[in-house]
């Protein structure tokens, strides 16, 4: 196991410039504003025949902005600024990646790296909205020093209100955090932050991994909430779901490029029978890039102080813990039923977090 981890780490060093650079891929993939005014777009779609960007910015012309094919299933696109130097894609405008699948079908997809997705009341699916405000929220308070003893308050922003509606980040900031502080808790663990189309899943059927749920407000509202928690000396943990993903394709990762093996195992191995969701292929280089970058983004952009990894048993074993008990016998924990690729990913995740952010906390469910 350690040899597999060491080999992965060595390969990352040799091919990506180290885990620091590798885990910053969220700054390149998706749609990102460059300092010179251009927008750089990058996607991994190994099963695609062609890739385009469409949206409000080009009148929803599906073919006017084609991506250039690169090595290893990657695609890139540069969009120059407007004649007046303005961003070519306006903040708040809607986008879609257009994939020409191997079958010839055109698929309209949300980028796996999308930072903000919203759903209109009259629609079923989410829309990808370009998030690039002129001035993002600036954190004012440092993270608390790592605590010797945690008193964790597990919470869900949407149900943290006596009112019969989905509550907001603002409500949690100004009405709930003071109560948590007064009760003597020094840590809050947030559920259902990563965007999920199915609200009743309590956030465990993630559709957009890099997007903070828009049900409760904007990304800046969440940043403010975490900043205020830090001002109270409260450590903030994210309940991160890297054990599986929603099987939605219109507004999720599933069949992003028209195949069933982009991000996930193909066929039976790629489906969780109880959760009715897709299972990541942790042996895939680009899946490792995606998941490690996801952790990095939540720490860097939102200032989360650590993670509670959901569904670790499902990750560690090929049987996913289904119909299996653990009594303490070594044979239940070690053997061919262990998914060593998933285990290696968790080792890489822990290594990256502790190497770059020694104060961060990691908890396994």
Residues classed as catalytic: 310, 365
Give, in order, the Cα–Cα distances in Å from 141 to each of 138, 144, 184, 291, 345: 9, 9, 20, 27, 32
CA–CA separation, 192 vs 157, rounded Å?
A: 8
> How are beta strands 194-196 and 39-44 bridged, if at all?
unpaired
Length, in residues, of the chain: 365
CA–CA separation, 206 vs 364, rounded Å?
A: 18
The DSSP 8-state label assigned to residue 245 in this structure reads B
CB contact at 8 A, 348 and 341 = no
The DSSP 8-state label assigned to residue 146 in this structure reads P
Rounded to the nearest 10°, the torsion over CA 290, 292, 296, 299 is: 110
265: tokens are: 């195992």
CA–CA separation, 227 vs 92, rounded Å?
A: 24
């Amino acid at each position: 196991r350690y040899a597999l981890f060491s080999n992965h780490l060595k390969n990352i060093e040799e091919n990506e410039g180290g885990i620091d650079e590798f885990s910053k891929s969220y700054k390149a993939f998706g749609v990102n504003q460059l300092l010179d005014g251009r927008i750089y777009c990058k996607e991994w779609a190994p099963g695609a025949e062609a890739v385009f960007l469409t949206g409000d910015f080009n009148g929803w012309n599906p073919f006017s902005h084609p991506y250039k094919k690169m090595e290893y299933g990657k695609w890139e696109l540069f969009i120059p600024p407007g004649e007046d130097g303005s961003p070519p894609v306006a903040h708040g405008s809607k986008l879609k990646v257009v994939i020409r699948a191997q079958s010839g079908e055109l698929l309209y997809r949300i980028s796996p790296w999308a930072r903000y997705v919203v759903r209109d009341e009259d629609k079923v699916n989410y829309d990808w909205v370009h998030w690039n405000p002129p001035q993002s929220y600036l954190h004012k308070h440092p993270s608390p020093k790592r605590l010797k003893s945690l008193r964790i308050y597990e919470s869900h922003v949407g149900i943290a209100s006596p009112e019969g509606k989905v509550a907001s980040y603002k409500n949690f900031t100004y009405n709930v955090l003071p109560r948590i502080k007064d009760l003597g808790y020094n840590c809050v663990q947030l559920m259902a932050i990563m965007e999920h189309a199915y609200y009743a899943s309590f956030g465990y059927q993630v559709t957009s991994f890099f997007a903070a749920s828009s049900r409760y407000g904007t990304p800046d509202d969440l940043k403010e909430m975490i900043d205020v928690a830090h001002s109270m000396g409260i450590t903030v943990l994210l309940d991160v779901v890297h054990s599986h993903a929603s099987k939605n394709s219109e507004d999720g990762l599933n069949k992003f490029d028209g195949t069933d093996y982009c991000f996930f195992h193909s066929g039976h191995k790629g489906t969780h029978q109880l959760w009715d969701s897709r299972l990541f292929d942790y042996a895939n280089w680009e899946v490792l890039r995606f998941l490690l970058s996801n952790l990095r983004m939540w720490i860097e952009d939102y200032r989360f102080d650590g993670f509670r990894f959901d569904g670790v048993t499902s990750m560690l074993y090929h049987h996913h813990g289904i119909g299996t008990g653990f009594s303490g016998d070594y044979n239940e924990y070690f053997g061919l039923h262990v998914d060593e690729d998933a285990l290696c990913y968790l080792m890489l995740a822990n290594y990256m977090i502790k190497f770059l952010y020694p104060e961060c906390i990691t908890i396994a469910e």
